[in-house]
Amino acid sequence: MSEAKLAPNLPGWMLDHANRYIASGGTDGHMYRITLPGKPEMEVPSLLLTTTGRKSGEKFIFPLFYGDVGKGWVIVASKGGAPEHPGWYRNLVANPIVEVQVGTRKVQARARTVTGAERAALWTQALEFWPPYADYQTKTEREIPVVMLDPIG
């Protein structure tokens, strides 16, 4: 992903994960292993999302968990249940053309926030690959956005 840099202010574990993913070209880091307190180890698929900064115009890379949906991917703008949407989500609302790396595959995609029955179905799927989303939703009054990444071309 040319000219892109890791997003500022990522937590240490995300930086380590993203750097491993980038350095390996996607052969290491696609599947992320994590053990949450009181839970068994989980293996979660992750992708690298590159958005264009809505203010800076710079390209930023964000590592995110995802689920497969047809030829595209579903991601969730949870920010751990914070009161505001994550920066990457605000960026893709302003400019929905993004770059996505899933493992070693890199594509351009169009991001769209899903609503209604589609959101309900994809939220259920998201809870399967990352159950903590349910806890995050209880921490915030905002409806956590669910986003589809549809490959272009």
CATH number where 125 lies: 2.30.110.10
| pLDDT above 60 (res 2) | no
Which band of pLDDT confidence, cut at 50, 70 and 90, is reported for residue 44? very high
So what's the pLDDT on residue 78? 96
Report angle CA 144, 106, 147 to the nearest 5 degrees. Answer: 15
pTM comes to 0.93
121 HSE (CA, 13 A, CB side): 7
Cβ count within 10 A of residue 118:
14
Range with lowest mean pLDDT among 35-44, 55-64, 133-142: 35-44
Residue 24 has pLDDT above 80, yes or no: yes
Domain count, the chain: 1
Q: Which two tokens stand for residue 143?
A: 């409806």
* pLDDT (mean) for 9-16: 88
Q: Report the pLDDT averaged over residues 102-126.
A: 98
Per-residue pLDDT for 16 more than 80?
yes
**Mean pLDDT, rounded, of the chain:** 93
Domain, as residue range, for 109: 4-151
Separation of alpha carbons 94 and 75, rounded Å: 17
Give the pLDDT of residue 99: 97
Position 11 pLDDT exceeds 80: yes
Q: Return the pLDDT at 1.
A: 42
pLDDT single digits (tens) 60-88: 999 999 999 999 999 999 999 999 999 99
